[in-house]
């Protein structure tokens, strides 16, 4: 690690001093920051409201160092140079702070920070401090920490309305060059911003029942003497497309809390609306402001006063906050001078847009020669969002929460190069990653906790995020429903036993249908193919069911009758040990948008799959679909949309989701192959073109034939007929006029 840090220092040079000057801007600070929001490494810290911890707006941009890591694998990037090494995250951060330490120990009184590291420490960084079990799934696999050292730092003082530009001389480069970069970015014409579109439903990793059951489990642990309190959370997820910064701006306007933060972390973005300070340092003086106790705001002044009074007089919340204050005093006492840790304020009520919070302030004097990183290690993660005692609480959290928390209840802010620090607790915080938005909400559970009240409290805390994300007047959780073996159930309650051969071997199959405003397209054809596969694979008669009625029930329950939907019928074989059917029959539905609406393309790009394929199972839409999935993933890795599947003799078969058809003159060519899925849409297109006077020819087709064809198209039941634009990045020609006519006739 030391060699890596030394190499970085040699590359950038140490900080000689920090250049400071007044910076004028006509735009609001958040509008000014919008010019930088698209740049990787940008960190924006906004202060909202009138509390005493909400004085400064800070924009950190144009980093000369980016440091991130997972576990002990750490990467430091500067310019075009990137180093990856094994090391302790906290020792790495400490080494960077010491390497770039400023000659002056403190910034001038009017500035909280002039240079330093800005970004986040995820909750999962706890594993670098304590040895804890890991039973929750790390599904996002994002960095455990992400920090940047900015060449451009703008600090806006809300009290006097001034903005200061800080540039660290040395690693940032020449002052004039940095200023030119700043003005170029500031004057950049911004593209029109889309506030974002979301998926149809907000999903949680808990149902109300399972969350309440987890609260009961915690109460049992408390009764057994394991803990006094545990912070329990649930994570929500929804699809998101659009501009993250526009969503951040909307959130700030609706609920300007003291510790708003936006982080562009390259492949993911963090949006935080936290009200809670974790740690603040000014020289040797340090403080923490734990929050415990929450009530919703009232709709009338009388209701609001009653709720405020109820929180203030609550013995449960008083005990909960007192426990956490004692925990934080103990943590800070590990690194503070003896006798200096004290509670300067207790049970202070703070009003926010949707809730009342009860807050305490714990202060101390950091013992020399310890620094900010030592303070973080002694106190991280914050006791207000773990529980008491902390280690056992974190074990229980990992046991009961199904996914790793990542940023939620970690910390966001800065650690300076001159003995100041300000970190928030990352609550009311969202992560945007790979087309989805994730955020968690939770609360402290004690023995007196009511499970239903605890569940409702999480919804109150997440209300602003939910309202803004969903764009509705009220935040509603809309669970999706499926028809499962004769019953309509919430999706998360439709379960298959592990002994089902569909789970063990992919022994099952499915059909996907297009439904347009309640009208099921080609239902008879799909069910005919479904029944044929059933008889072939299972060797029994198919079920006698009114599929149209079942599908209608599913559509109505999911509120999809007034739009285009994709319906999937899934069958698994069951255990195979009974003569009667003990498998699963499932019908699900989702809103469907044509892929061209998502991509803006006019056709698809094919990439040849890296392996030949020939199996009689290809005649059916079995659940043994891994080969198709991997082929599709390969295509996307090479900037394609679909994979072209080839037979062992290199003749063309189909794509990973569609059939292939070729138009040449007045002839429709259908690739001949031993094993492929007989497509419903393919059959309809062949019949339609035959009626239009086309001659149909079935023959073996090779890739060279596609380059000579007038038009190549692919088809399936959802997207209809789609032109192929290229194969292995080589353009294919032809007009799409005939394809438009096909879709008008069939869709």
Which residues belong to the active site?
Answer: 276, 292
C-alpha neighbours within 13 Å on the C-beta side of residue 216: 7
What is the rounded distance in angstroms from the CA atom of residue 738 to the CA atom of residue 725? 15
Q: How large is the angle between the packed helices 372-379 and 89-99, nearest 10 degrees?
A: 160
Q: Hey, is 377 helix, strand or coil?
A: helix
* Residue that the structure tokens 């609360």 belong to: 443
DSSP code at position 579: S
Strands 585-591 and 481-484: antiparallel
CA separation for the pair 423, 428 (Å, rounded): 15
Q: Can you tell me which residue has the tokens 């194969």?
A: 727
Which residue, among 108, 166, 146, has the nearest Cα to 282 in the 3D structure? 108
Rg (CA), the chain: 30
CB count, 10 Å around CB of 112?
A: 19
Q: Which residues contact 670 (CB under 8 A, 6 or more apart)?
A: 661, 662, 682, 686, 696, 697, 698
How many Cβ atoms are within 10 Å of 325's Cβ, its own excluded? 21
523-538 vs 547-557: helix crossing angle, rounded to 10: 110
Task: In whole angstroms, give the CA distance from residue 248 to residue 239.
Answer: 16
What is the DSSP track for 530-571? HHHHHHHHH-SPPP---HHHHHHHHHHHTT-TTSEEEEEEEE
Residue pair 142/104 in contact by the 8 Å Cβ criterion: no
Both tokens of 560, joined, read 């999809």
C-alpha–C-alpha distance, residues 106 and 92, integer Å: 22
- At 325, which helix (H) or strand (E)? helix 315-333
Prior bond to 381 cis, omega within 30?
yes
Question: What are the structure tokens assigned to 487, written together?
Answer: 């019953």
Count of CB atoms situated within 10 Å of the CB of 495: 10
Cβ neighbours, 10 Å, residue 483 = 22
Report the candidate in 49, 59, 63 with the shortest Cα–Cα distance to residue 28.
59
Q: Are residues 728 and 608 in contact, defined by beta-carbon separation less than 8 angstroms?
A: yes
Helix and strand tally (H, E) in the chain?
Answer: 20, 38
Token pair recorded at residue 508: 């099952």
Packing angle, helices 680-691 and 523-538, rounded to 10: 130
Cβ count near 485 (within 10 Å): 13
| DSSP secondary structure letters along 61-103 | EEEEEEEEEETTEEEEEETTEEEEEE--HHHHHHHHHHHT--S
DSSP 37: T
Establish how many alpha carbons lie within 13 A of residue 605's alpha carbon, considering only the half-sphere containing its beta carbon: 15
Give the residue from 60, 69, 112, 64 showing the smallest Cα distance to 91.
69
């Amino acid at each position: 690690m030391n060699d890596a840090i030394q190499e970085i220092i040699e590359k950038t040079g140490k900080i000689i001093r920090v250049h400071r000057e007044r910076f004028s801007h006509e735009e609001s600070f958040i509008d000014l920051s919008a010019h930088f929001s698209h740049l990787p490494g940008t960190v924006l810290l906004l202060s909202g409201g009138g509390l005493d911890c909400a004085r400064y707006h800070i924009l950190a941009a144009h980093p000369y160092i980016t440091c991130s890591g997972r576990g002990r694998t750490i990467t430091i990037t500067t310019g075009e140079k990137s180093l990856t090494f094994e090391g302790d995250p906290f020792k790495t951060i400490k080494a960077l702070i010491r390497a770039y330490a400023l000659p002056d120990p403190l910034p001038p009184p009017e500035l909280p920070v002039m240079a330093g590291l800005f970004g986040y420490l995820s909750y999962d960084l706890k594993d670098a401090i304590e040895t804890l079990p890991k039973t929750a799934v790390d599904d996002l696999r994002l960095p455990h920490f992400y920090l940047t050292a900015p060449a451009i730092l703008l600090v806006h003082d809300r009290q006097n309305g001034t903005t200061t530009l800080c540039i660290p001389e040395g690693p940032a480069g020449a002052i004039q060059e940095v200023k030119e970069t700043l003005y170029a970015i500031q004057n950049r014409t911004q593209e029109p911003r889309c506030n974002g579109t979301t998926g149809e439903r907000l999903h949680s990793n808990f149902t109300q029942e399972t969350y309440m059951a987890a609260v009961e489990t915690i109460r049992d642990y408390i009764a057994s003497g394991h803990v006094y309190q545990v912070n329990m959370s649930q994570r929500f997820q929804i699809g998101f497309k659009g501009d993250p910064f526009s969503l951040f701006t909307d959130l700030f306007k609706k609920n300007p809390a003291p510790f708003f933060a936006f982080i562009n972390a390259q492949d993911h973005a963090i949006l935080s609306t936290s009200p809670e300070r974790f740690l603040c340092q000014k020289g040797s003086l340090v403080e923490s402001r734990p929050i415990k106790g929450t009530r919703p705001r009232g709709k009338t002044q009388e209701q609001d006063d009653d709720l405020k009074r109820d929180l203030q007089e609550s013995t449960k919340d008083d005990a909960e906050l007192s426990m956490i204050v004692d925990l934080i005093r103990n943590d800070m006492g590990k690194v503070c001078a003896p006798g200096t840790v004290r509670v300067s304020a207790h049970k202070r009520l703070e009003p926010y847009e949707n809730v009342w919070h009860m807050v305490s302030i714990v202060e101390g004097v950091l013992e020399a020669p310890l620094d900010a990183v030592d303070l973080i290690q002694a106190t991280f993660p914050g006791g207000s969002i773990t529980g008491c005692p902390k280690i056992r609480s974190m074990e229980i959290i990992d046991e009961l929460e199904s996914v790793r928390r990542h940023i939620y209840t970690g910390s966001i802010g800065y650690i300076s190069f001159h003995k100041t620090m300000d970190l928030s607790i990352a609550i009311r915080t969202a992560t945007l990653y790979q087309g989805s938005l994730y955020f968690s909400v939770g609360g402290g559970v004690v023995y007196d906790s009511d499970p239903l009240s605890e569940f409702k409290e999480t919804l109150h805390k997440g209300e602003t995020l939910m309202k803004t994300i969903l764009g509705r007047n009220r935040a509603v959780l809309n669970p999706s429903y499926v028809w499962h073996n004769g019953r309509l159930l919430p999706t998360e309650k439709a379960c298959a036993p592990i002994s089902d051969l569909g789970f063990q071997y992919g022994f099952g199959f499915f059909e996907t249908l297009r439904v347009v405003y309640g009208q099921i397209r080609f239902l008879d054809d799909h069910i005919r193919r479904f029944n044929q596969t059933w008889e072939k694979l299972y060797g029994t008669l198919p079920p006698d069911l009114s599929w149209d009625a079942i599908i209608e029930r599913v559509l109505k329950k999911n509120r999809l009758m007034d739009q285009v939907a994709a319906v999937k019928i899934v069958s698994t074989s069951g255990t195979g040990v009974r003569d009667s059917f003990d498998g699963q029959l499932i019908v699900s539905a989702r809103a469907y948008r044509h892929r061209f609406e998502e991509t803006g393309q006019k056709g698809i790009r094919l990439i040849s799959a890296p392996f030949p394929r020939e199996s009689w199972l290809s005649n059916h839409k079995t659940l043994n679909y891994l080969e198709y999935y991997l082929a599709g993933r390969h295509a996307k890795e090479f900037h394609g949309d679909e994979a072209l599947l080839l037979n062992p003799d290199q003749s063309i078969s189909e794509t990973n989701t569609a059939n292939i058809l070729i138009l040449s003159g007045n002839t429709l060519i259908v690739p001949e192959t031993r094993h492929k899925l007989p497509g419903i849409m393919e059959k309809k297109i062949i019949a339609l073109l035959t009626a239009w006077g086309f001659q149909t020819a079935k023959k073996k087709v090779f890739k060279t034939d596609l380059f000579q064809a007038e038009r190549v198209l692919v088809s399936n039941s959802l997207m209809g007929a789609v032109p192929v634009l290229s194969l292995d990045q080589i353009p294919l020609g032809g007009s799409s006029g005939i394809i438009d006519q096909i879709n008008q006739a069939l869709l």
